[in-house]
Amino acid sequence: MARSSFQKLKLLHVRNYLLQNSDEEHPITVNQMIQYLESNGIAAERKSIYDDIEALRTFDMDIEECKRGRVFGYYVASRTFELPELKLLVDSVQSSKFITHKKTASLIKKIETLASVHSAQLLHRQVFVKNRIKTMNESIYYNVDEIHNGISNNRKIRFLYFEYNVAKERQYRHGGAYYVVSPFAMTWDDENYYLVAYDSEAGIIKHYRVDKMEKISTLDEERDGQEVYQALDMAVYTRKTFGMFTGEEIKVQMRFENHLVGAVLDRLGRDVFIVPDGPGHFTVRTDVVVSPQFFAWVLGFGPQAQIIGPDHVVEGMKDHISSVAALYSPQT
């Protein structure tokens, strides 16, 4: 490329150099910018650099001037994402179980490009991915994209659905046949992504772990079940479905010690009605999908929580406790 062609890119080079290399602790001098431009085949004078900085400021780039000793420098004072926000993004990516190790590393590298090289080093120091539990399904990102394609275009999707056996091999459900459903939403529960979709054959809303889906494709057929989905409150649906396990939806009454109110509100939502029950306890009555996962949640509080109604749910809890206790009973 001719030198004159490089000159046309001068303003872009100045912009990128400031974004990549400057922050409040690391201002860039005019001489550093001139040397950088010369290394890229671009001639520059001090006055032209000042003009470029003013042009970038006019274009809403927040460039501040500072003095360190006898030297003046410039730095980008505000960015699309501030460093604490980028730290939050990095934390979210590395703690998300459904993002694979490989994709985690790739995403964090991209996030680091949104900061200066100096701030990027600070971000990199807080990355701890190696021993975290992560999904093994590398295609999950394409799954999410294809699901959203079906939702936005009002089309059904089809996919294979699998689980792992003890040999860590995939075993496909439905005898390896495709599932065909009408996708309506994506939801997050217990560190996993789920598709919420209408099953036309069953006539009900179902959910599917996105990282257990494979070979997703959008069909030409329009979605069914709009009326059923529109009658569904997604916030309530995810709140009362423990671990996204299916089961019978029942209004259950429970009794907790007072210090557990925060944990109960976190799980059941702040609109749940709390009734004081003596000086040290309270009760709640709410709709839940009764499943082994629900019983396990209550049991997690030990003797500080109790299901008190209805009777058949209490009996279900007793059976659940007995079946678990039997595993630890002496063998005769």
Query: Which pLDDT does position 2 carry in this prediction?
Result: 47
Three-state SS for 81?
Answer: coil
Query: Which pLDDT does position 154 carry in this prediction?
Result: 93
Dihedral sign for Cα atoms in the order 142, 144, 147, 152: negative
**Segment 183-203 mean pLDDT:** 84
CB-based burial of residue 278 (10 Å sphere; 0-12 exposed, 13-18 middle, 19+ buried)?
A: exposed
Amino acid code (one letter) for 254? M
Q: What is the DSSP string of 283-329?
A: EEEEEEEESHHHHHHHHTTGGGEEEEESHHHHHHHHHHHHHHHHTTS
Enter the DSSP assignment of 88.
Answer: H
Query: Which pLDDT does position 54 carry in this prediction?
Result: 92
100-110 pLDDT, tens digit each: 778 888 888 89
Query: Which pLDDT does position 318 carry in this prediction?
Result: 93
CA distance 207 to 16: 45
pLDDT category at 188 given cuts 50, 70, 90 is: confident
Enter the DSSP assignment of 132.
Answer: S
- CA distances 113 to 3, 22, 43, 46, 64, Å, are 28, 13, 27, 28, 21
Query: Which pLDDT does position 127 carry in this prediction?
Result: 53
pTM over 0.85: no
List CB contacts of 328: < 8 A, sequence separation 6 or more: none
**Segment 84-88 mean pLDDT:** 86
264-310 pLDDT, tens digit each: 887 787 778 888 888 989 899 988 888 888 888 898 899 999 999 89
Torsion angle, CA of 62/67/71/72, rounded to 10 degrees?
30
Q: Using an 8 Å Cβ cutoff, are 100 and 93 in contact?
A: no
Phi-psi bin for 89: left (phi > 0), alpha (psi -120 to 50), beta?
A: alpha
pLDDT reading at 244 higher than 60: no
pLDDT reading at 192 higher than 70: yes
Domains of the chain listed by start with CATH number: 3-76 (1.10.10.10), 83-125 (no CATH), 140-232 (2.30.30), 240-326 (3.30.70)
Mean of the per-residue pLDDT values of the chain: 83
Neighbours of 222 (CB within 10 A): 11
**Segment 77-93 mean pLDDT:** 86
CA distance 294 to 9: 61
Amino acid code (one letter) for 241? T
Amino acid code (one letter) for 136? M
**Which one is predicted more confidently, 241 or 121?**
121
**Segment 119-123 mean pLDDT:** 80
Q: What tokens were used for 224?
A: 């069914």
203-236 pLDDT, tens digit each: 888 888 888 899 999 999 999 988 888 887 666 6
**Segment 140-168 mean pLDDT:** 86
pLDDT reading at 1 higher than 50: no
pLDDT reading at 247 higher than 50: yes
For the chain, give the percent of residues with pLDDT over 70: 87
